[in-house]
Amino acid sequence: MLINHNFRFISLMAAILMMSSVNSSLAQHKTGIQGNTYTNTDFNFRISLPVSLSHWRLQDNIPKLLFMMSTDDKTLANRGIIANLSVEAEKLSSRKVTLNNYLDISLLALQVGIRNLNNLIIDLVELGGRPAYRLIYTGSASDGTQVKFFQVIAVDEGKGYMLTGTSIPVTTPVSDFVSIQNTFLFLDAITAVKPLRLLANTWASLKK
């Protein structure tokens, strides 16, 4: 009987410690740039620069954008490549807006906003474990320069997410963009354990 009581006590303490750990993890998330990672608690995500992209840098305080990543001046000088990737997020007008709805809206915006839109490829991918669409296409800058575009769009919990990368020349591979895309994480996926539910379930099982 004493052994059973001790087991219950140890199990309950383990659940409490796990709840404390999860709450601590949640508290550590702050909006802004830390090292090579950008976190946004309002829109429930974080994204990082992979170690392999040491020639990229993070920039914040960009008008209308949450933040931007871009290649450095040395890369432009040595390789003739200039690229950047920005992240935009918005609260949608309705939680009923689906990923396909968001794709239709995005395609309409491309037709209106991109000069000489061409070579459009659309693939179903994932962003932070959620379904997403990836769009790769080319267009013209105001001076006629050809630009390659890389976009990933996703919808989650009534919010829309859009990663947009641009690169010159258009022959630049999209591998850098894909490696950045793969770092995207939704914060609630990082802390998926529901601490109060865990504690309640543990207590209920111990009373049996």
Helix spans in the chain (H): 2-28, 73-79, 99-113, 175-181, 187-190, 195-207
Q: Whats the size of the chain, residue-wise?
A: 208
- The full set of domain ranges for the chain reads 31-186
Average pLDDT over residues 17-26: 44
SS3 assignment, position 173: coil
- 95 or 2: whose pLDDT is higher? 95
Average pLDDT over residues 125-145: 96
Average pLDDT over residues 76-88: 85
Q: What is the pLDDT of residue 202?
A: 46
- Give 138's strand partners: 118, 148
Average pLDDT over residues 147-168: 96
Q: What is the pLDDT of residue 192?
A: 52
Prior bond of 50 cis (ω within 30°) = no
pTM of the model: 0.76
Q: What is the pLDDT of residue 203?
A: 47
Domain 31-186 in this protein, CATH class: alpha beta
SS3 content of the chain, % helix, strand, coil (to 5): 35, 35, 30
- 157 or 64: whose pLDDT is higher? 157
